[in-house]
Structure 1
């Protein structure tokens, strides 16, 4: 007897039905599976259906069978648990560099990894509308080009954009350096302070710099190989992000600070728990770290409300005082 139309696709459709319509809390009967297959114009009998389910189990699909008043089948475990996907959804929502449109598209794809019931559970927690999100719709393609350049060991060129106030007080995007293309040896992509960054070596300046990925446009992978020097070969991403406060880099200096003991956790979070500290007294300790001095570093100090004091070098002490004076000038005036 010839097989009915679509039999070659039957196992694939059966797998899709089980993955989308069932989970550990929702099962489906053999009759319901047969009806769902019929919607795909595929005929199935109970005996052959049982054989197909066993085939999928042998393939590795975790299909559970439960008996109450009726017998039901369900996929009881998957590559991703709902809790894991919720973490990924949260990461997408909080990522400023991913646009609102792309965030929604990506979350919908994550929902496709679980059953329809679990997808609704994920969707209830999605709050995109009022979050501050990036505006560069091409960021996926930018990231792909940057990753390809790194894997191919090639230099790149790109336009680096900035925001300005244009005509009619509108905020407009323009290319930095009057449209001159940046030529960089890409080293690393990292995520910091809700933004995505490219770390690369600038041959012209002969230093490692970082760039906001959402401000990068028109990436071209060049034929020229990336720079190879000691600084690049010994680059340590973890150490780099420790010394750069929210990616606002400045002159790198060794800074010694006096810290209240109660803030040891804050210091460990920022600089790592392997830093060398020296007991100053019963209430305080000293430590030294290489830090890129910037307004973000000073803002971090200010947020600790006097619990951290800069001891040296003096130029960093003076820089912090200048920051405090600049802020005070906005609120206090001499009579």
Structure 2
């Protein structure tokens, strides 16, 4: 019964138009199944019963005098578009891994829905499989097992950008053996927190997309996570460029960059119009960081720091350095 139900679902999901029970029966006969029309109707009822228990909705609708058609998709169009775009735009997924994931999502859809979507395939030619690394790490964390891997950086060799291995391993120069504790997603990157025995008094943090040849390792698992606040350790290692200093930021900016300001700080800001047509904004409790300074400079003359004066001086100093750097070229 299970394989027959699958083929009924497959026939309906690949049909752009309603399809009658008699036509479904003929398709099933072509697949090697011999049955009568009542069995086809029972299979459709079984599919609807299963789907209703799973989602609270019927999957297949009967249009009197016309036939059967899939009525409810598992994901609505917006959900499936977002999921597929998120997969294909993920820079940590190679093209083959992205296709494998979107193909699995497509199994929960049908040809009519897929034709409504606008999906651009990934063109990431990387030969690194981050999903395999993630799977190995997740299982190792769950089973309290060590992992071994090589950790990469980058260098320019013979005018080519190449991956090079760090040489601070604890098995040999290039191989790291780590007791993994936790995965954290920050931005678009996964980070692994774990214990590396060359740093006995601290936890170590590794970017998963820079880990290569991740495998299980039979060495003794060291569990010292209770000695540390892992969130603080993560912030200390990953957000080192952030200052502990928080500021109340007052800015004047052009209306055309309002969207960029909201993207940076969110909608929980105070904004008012000025007499000259520009906007004035006040954002509370902002982390003073290189990232903030870089963002302000990126918007060039479209934005001006009013307060605090300390940040204004930082921006001025950065501008003077840039002028000195490019000064001779402008003379």
Match of 1:171 in 2: 161
After TM superposition, the structure 1 stretch with the greater mean CA deviation from structure 2, 317-326 or 34-43, is: 317-326
Q: Classify 1:210/1:163 alpha carbon distance in 2 versus 1 (closer, same or farther; 3 Å).
A: same
Q: Distance in 1 between matches of 2:307 and 2:181?
A: 34
Structure 2: runs of 5+ lacking an equivalent: 53-57, 169-173
- Separation in structure 2 between the aligned mates of residue 309 and residue 155 of structure 1, nearest angstrom: 52
1:139 is aligned to 2:130:
yes
Distance 2:222 2:155 in 1: 33
State the shift of 1:45 in Å. 1.9
Of 68, 72, 84, which residue of structure 2 is paired with 1:77? 72
CA distance in 1, matches of 2:164, 2:261: 38
Partner of residue 297, structure 2: 302
Q: 1:174: how far off?
A: 0.7
1:302 aligns to what SS in structure 2?
A: helix
Are the aligned partners of 2:74 and 2:109 in contact in 1 as well (CA < 8 Å)? no
**Which of 63, 68, 75 does residue 66 from structure 1 map onto?**
63
Residue matched to 1:119: 114
| Equivalent residue for 1:53, pick from 44, 61, 80 | 44
Deviations 1:296-325 (A, max 9, x none): 33211213444335637x6x7766445433
Indicate whether 1:196 and 2:186 are aligned. Answer: no
| Contact 2:249–2:286 (CA under 8 A) maintained in structure 1 | no
Q: Distance in 1 between matches of 2:222 and 2:69?
A: 54
Quick check: 1:160 aligned with 2:154? no
Change (3 A) 1:196 1:11: same
Q: Is structure 2 residue 97 aligned with structure 1 residue 102?
A: yes
Q: Please list, as runs of the form range in 1=range in 2, the aligned pairs for 1:1-335 lying within 5 A after superposition.
A: 9-18=3-12, 20-22=13-15, 26-59=17-50, 60=52, 61-67=58-64, 70-122=65-117, 124-129=118-123, 133=124, 135-152=126-143, 156-167=147-158, 169-177=159-167, 179=174, 181=176, 183=178, 185-192=180-187, 195-200=188-193, 204=199, 211-220=206-215, 223-232=221-230, 249-250=240-241, 252-260=243-251, 270=264, 283=280, 285=282, 287-291=284-288, 293-294=289-290, 296-305=291-300, 306-308=303-305, 311=308, 320-333=315-328, 335=331
Residue of structure 2 equivalent to 1:4: none
Q: Could you report, residue by residue, the CA deviation over 1:194-235 in whole angstroms, capped at 9, with x for unpaired residues?
A: x32205266628667654322111335562225223522x65
Q: Give how far 1:94 is off.
A: 1.6
Structure 1 residue ranges, 4+ long, deviating more than 6 angstroms after superposition: 261-268, 272-275
**Structure 1 residue runs without a partner (length 5+):** 1-6
- Structure-2 change in CA distance of 1:307 and 1:153 (3 Å): farther
**Residues 28-37 or 56-65, more deviating:** 56-65
Query: What RMSD over aligned residues (CA atoms) do the two structures have, in Å?
Result: 3.9
**Structure 1 147/307 Cα, relative in aligned 2: closer, same or farther at 3 Å?**
farther
Matches of 2:313 and 2:167, distance apart in 1: 31
Inter-CA distance 31–53: structure 2 relative to 1 (3 Å threshold): same
Equivalent residue pairs, number: 303
TM superposition shift of 1:190 = 0.8
Shift of 1:15: 3.0
Q: TM-score, normalised by structure 2?
A: 0.73
Deviation digits for residues 78-122 of structure 1 (CA, Å, limit 9, x no counterpart): 322232111111111221111122222322222222112333444
Larger deviation, residues 144-153 vs 258-267: 258-267
- 8 Å CA contact 2:106–2:114 kept in 1: the answer is yes
CA distance in 2, matches of 1:91, 1:8: 33
